[in-house]
Amino acid sequence: MNPPRVVLDTNVLLSSLMFHAGTLSWLCTAWQARHVCPLVSRTTVEELIRALDYPKFDLTADEQGDLLADYLPWCETVNISKPPKLPKCRDPFDRPFLELALAGRADALVTGDKDLLAMAKTFPIPILTPRAFRKRLHPGGEPSEP
């Protein structure tokens, strides 16, 4: 069985990459164990690279490269030559993630973004919080969970 194909928004991705003891660190383990297949596009990778360079993270170029190396080799790149038609969304910066989910035929878009979550009932791809996505991956719970 193929792993679920997922789009991870930048905030979810940064949390899973940068905070190894955080609540989203399980996602990094999941893609590296090939339990999920993250989808990326040129635009979403550019956004990730921009975010990693934010002064608040205070990351060196080598640290940024290490974080990208913890993610990109496990990703499937989707070429979006003709962006799909999207329903109206409140935040134009969310469009690349919606386009990627549609063009890549994702099984889910994982986000904590309220504007994206507000579209969950009308968007053809499930838009899930990380917690809901984890429950979908492991419906019976995980032995390591408290």
Per the domain annotation, does 52 fall within a domain? yes
Hey, is 6 helix, strand or coil? strand
Contact 80, 101 (CB under 8 A): no
Model pTM score: 0.91
Per the domain annotation, does 133 fall within a domain? yes
pLDDT of residue 43: 95
Per the domain annotation, does 142 fall within a domain? no
User: What element of type H or E holds 134?
Assistant: helix 130-137
Could you tell me the residue range of the domain that residue 31 belongs to? Answer: 5-137
Contact 77, 40 (CB under 8 A): yes
pLDDT in tens, the chain (146 residues): 799 999 999 999 999 999 988 899 999 999 999 999 999 999 999 999 999 999 999 999 999 999 999 999 999 999 998 877 777 778 888 999 999 999 999 999 999 999 999 999 999 999 999 999 999 987 766 544 43
Q: What is the CATH number of the domain that holds 62?
A: 3.40.50.1010
